[in-house]
Amino acid sequence: MSEMTPAASVRAKIRVVPTIVVVIALAIVPLVWRNDYVISLLILILLSSLMTQSWNLTLGSGIWNLGQLAIIASGGYVTGLLTVTFGVSAWLALPAGVLAGGLAAAIIVLPVIRLRGIFAALLTLAGAEVVRLLIIADPAGLTGGRFGLSGVKGLFDNLSATWSLRASFWLTLVLSVAVMLLAQRTMGSPLGRGSGRRRQAVMMTLVSGLIAGLAGGLYATFYHGITPSFIALGPMGLLAIMVVVGGLGTVRGPIIGAFVVTILSEALRDTVVWRLVVLGALLFVVLAFSPAGIDGLLQRSIDKLRLWMGFRPGVPREERKER
């Protein structure tokens, strides 16, 4: 195993330090800011980042999977059903939701890994629609039909409303960081870099499904329910905008996209038409001027700043001064 060069070590620290600073800053927000609405909004952003992170993995492996929300919803419904119907603790139901997401990903996505482009997109979209219709037409009424599943137990129901909200935020933050590291590790592995397309697709699909199941389970326990409208085309379009605006195929991109799009959507929630106009315009600008997304734009700006400051990776400090 080769040791990390000094230049590589410096680059790694440059990437890690801002992330640590952001995570610490977010962690202390609930302690210094008593506004519950802000905390709830941050939780929504983190949940959205988990969803986009899960979808980004399958997209990065070359599968145009349009059934990701059905996979996420599978985790949410399994988690919710276990708590509502069988009285299982939310802490025990959540891992089951994670596994349900992995299973749903295997059922919806794995059959299309040999396909590309529009064919994979249409088949996965059809799979998601089948899941939505099965939930709505549930003859036993377990899923709540078109009205959705309600009364799902929360993870911190034994705490007061204020501290339950903050505990949910801290848990979601920790899990989001863990998922980001997992995604980075997966993308950096031989399978993630493309050592055999089929093996890569299978690996990415299963990891993506597990993350999706986690996101769905957390969503159902935080909002105490989930409805089949979660799988509709509108939310899927919003998820797509997050991924593209943030940066498709990157680790930080889905997080950035989730933050930007969620904030804009929330700010314009009372004006549906203007929300669509603004989000559409944002998507157009990104695709036209920065196809790599906001993350790509930030990375190019950072690289230019390093060059302007005289930083040359792999070049000794003495040589940089001479130049």
Q: What is the pTM of this model?
A: 0.88
Please say whether the beta carbons of 105 and 215 come within 8 A.
no
User: Residue 121 has which token pair?
Assistant: 């997109």
**Does residue 149 sit in helix, strand or coil?**
strand
Instruction: Report the C-alpha gap between 155 and 93 in whole angstroms.
Output: 10
| Torsion sign over Cα 287, 274, 59, 11 | positive
- Grouping H, G, I as helix, E, B as strand and the rest as coil, residue 150 is strand
d(C-alpha 203, C-alpha 267), whole Å: 38
Burial class of residue 202 (count of CB atoms within 10 Å of its CB; 0-12, 13-18, 19+): middle
**323 residues of the chain, pLDDT tens digit each:** 334 444 444 444 445 677 788 889 999 999 888 889 999 999 999 999 999 999 988 887 778 889 999 999 999 999 999 999 999 999 999 999 999 999 999 999 888 888 777 888 899 999 999 999 999 998 878 899 989 999 999 999 999 999 999 999 999 999 999 999 888 888 776 655 555 677 788 888 999 999 999 999 999 999 999 999 999 888 999 999 999 999 888 888 889 999 999 999 999 988 888 998 999 999 999 999 988 889 888 888 877 877 777 655 555 445 444 44
DSSP state of 63: -
What does each C-alpha distance from 85 to 80, 82, 124, 132 come to in angstroms? Answer: 8, 6, 29, 20
Residue in 252, 264, 292 with CA at minimum distance from that of residue 44 = 264
Residue type (1 letter), 221: T
User: Whole-angstrom Cα distance, residue 191 to residue 132?
Assistant: 32
How far, CA to CA in Å, does 29 sit from each of 34, 66, 175, 219? Answer: 9, 35, 17, 21
Asked if 224 and 151 count as a contact pair (C-beta separation under 8 A), the reply is: yes
